[in-house]
Amino acid sequence: MTVLQDSYSRSTDGDERERARCLGLLARAPAELLEAWAAGLGATEFEWLRQPEQGLVMVQARAGGTGERFNFGEMTVTRCVLRLRSGRTGVAYVQGRSKRRAELAALADAMLQDPELAEAVRNGLIAPVAAHLASESERSARKAQATKVEFFTLAHEDD
Amino acid sequence: MSLDLDSIGAGFRLPALASQQVFRQALDAMAHPGRIIEVPCEADLPDGVAPAAGALLLSLLDTDTSLWLSAGLEHASDYFRFHTGCTSARSPSEGSFLLADSAQALPRLETLAQGSAEYPDRSASVILQVSHLQSRAGHACGWRLAGPGVLHELWLEVDGPGADFLEQWACNAARFPRGVDVFLVCGRQMVGLPRTTRLGG
């Protein structure tokens, strides 16, 4: 996992950055959106290069985004690699233990590399997932905002 | 180090079951030196890697091991790194496993990791591909095997490693309990030569 991330974040290649963005979205995509996309897909033949397997990944963080790196905690990750009939290879690392989500995410990644299929996957899956994740993060930000305490007012009363 | 996935073939279809089966066979091979064992392998291996050698490596390699490949097989490095998580050894002495496509391509045994007196298990395991393997009981030809695990007279016919290999093997045995272990493979066939086995002409 670190290998992929490192090579993408250091890369100046726009295609690779776009793929990293899509892989990041697919990693967090909810099962319902993936299944809805897959339902309209029909039968797609592929072979496994690496069957879905579950494991732990150490997540690192920096306090305040600038401090020293520390191990934040382990998270469960399911990963797999598959190859389509056309020879395109798709990889997936997804949160949680769902092998099905990993399979669909890898399928989407493989199709995104095929110029003929990429547009349909972008419209049918990537865009809805991006919109869903954006609204989720906005919702949780709004919820957090509502609990904000104005210490400023308290300080005033003491005067 | 990144790797190009497009050139990599499939590994074991059922990794857990297949590697257990091959591991059991590797144990049998080491417990019965000279016995020829047929190894099943349905993996889509890189060119030049014998099925038995590929199956052994897919079963034995993991993230704690490193693999050295002879010059003719260096293209197989990505395949084994992807499927097993092993690292590539920069020199033969760093490899915990070595795969050579011929006896000529194999570094001298004394240059490989020998383990220590406290940890003889930290030595290298060598997989050597040969062009012919045949084992015969009571029929004098090729190498005569003796040592633990060989009850009766056993002869092994091998094409590839010459007299030079026998000399290196004698020195290897002299370092016991240190020393390397060897698997000879030919196609799907595998023969174990643990460091305790004595080879004679």
pLDDT digits (tens, 9 = 90+) for B2-26: 677 888 999 998 889 999 999 999 9
Dump the DSSP string for A34-59. Answer: HHHHHHTT----EEEEEEEEEEEEEE
pLDDT tier for residue A44 given thresholds of 50, 70 and 90: confident
CATH number at residue B136: 3.40.50.11310
- For residue B114 the two structure tokens come to 């020998």
CA nearest to A82 within chain B: B10
Return the pLDDT at A141.
92
What residues contact residue B60 under an 8 Å CB cut-off, 6+ apart?
B23, B26, B97, B125
Q: Does A50 touch chain B (CB under 8 A)?
A: yes
Whole-number Å distance between alpha carbons of B44 and A23: 27
Return the pLDDT at A3.
39
pLDDT tier for residue A6 given thresholds of 50, 70 and 90: very low
Residue A9 pLDDT more than 70? Answer: no
Domain that holds residue B138: 5-200
The whole-angstrom distance between B72's CA and the closest CA on chain A is 24
A50–B11: do the CB atoms touch at under 8 Å? Answer: yes
List pLDDT tens digits, range B132-175: 998 877 777 789 999 999 988 889 999 888 889 999 999 999 99
- The beta-carbon contacts of B114-122 under 8 Å, at least 24 apart in sequence, are B114/B175, B114/B178, B114/B179, B114/B180, B115/B177, B115/B178, B115/B179, B116/B178, B117/B177, B117/B178, B120/B177, B120/B178, B120/B179, B122/B96
Alpha helices in chain A (DSSP H): 2-10, 14-28, 31-39, 99-112, 115-121, 127-146, 151-158
> Residue B3: what are its φ and ψ, rounded to 5°?
-135, 155
Whole-number Å distance between alpha carbons of A9 and A15: 12
**Percentage of chain A modeled with pLDDT above 90:** 66
Which residues of B lie closer than 8 Å to A, measured between beta carbons? 1-2, 5-6, 8-11, 13, 15, 82-83
pLDDT tier for residue A2 given thresholds of 50, 70 and 90: very low
Average pLDDT score over residue span B173-188: 95
How many domains in chain B?
1
Average pLDDT score over residue span A75-101: 94
In this prediction, does ipTM exceed 0.85? no
From the list B67, B71, B94, the residue with the least C-alpha distance to B79 is: B67
Closest partner CB to A89 (pick from B5, B15, B83): B5
Q: Which H or E element spans position B174?
A: helix B163-174
What residues contact residue A86 under an 8 Å CB cut-off, 6+ apart?
A114
pTM comes to 0.83
Whole-number Å distance between alpha carbons of B159 and A53: 41
Return the pLDDT at B1.
52
What is the average pLDDT score of chain A?
Answer: 86
Q: Within 13 A of B94's CA, how many CA atoms are on the CB side?
A: 11
> Residue B8: what are its φ and ψ, rounded to 5°?
-100, 130
Average pLDDT score over residue span A11-36: 88
The whole-angstrom distance between A21's CA and the closest CA on chain B is 18
The whole-angstrom distance between A55's CA and the closest CA on chain B is 14
B10–A89: do the CB atoms touch at under 8 Å? Answer: no
A51–B15: do the CB atoms touch at under 8 Å? Answer: yes
From the list B154, B161, B151, the residue with the least C-alpha distance to B183 is: B161
Look at A154 and A31; give whichever has higher pLDDT.
Answer: A31
Q: How far, in Å, are A64, A91, B55, B129 from residue B159 at the CA level?
A: 65, 42, 21, 10
B2–A3: do the CB atoms touch at under 8 Å? Answer: yes
CA nearest to B9 within chain A: A49
Average pLDDT score over residue span A114-137: 94
pLDDT tier for residue A1 given thresholds of 50, 70 and 90: very low
Residue B79 pLDDT more than 80? Answer: yes
Average pLDDT score over residue span B69-95: 95
Query: Which amino acid appears at position B82 of this protein?
Result: F
> Residue A46: what are its φ and ψ, rounded to 5°?
-150, 165
Chain A residues in contact with B8 (beta carbon < 8 A): 49, 89
CA nearest to A91 within chain B: B5
Query: Which amino acid appears at position B85 of this protein?
Result: G
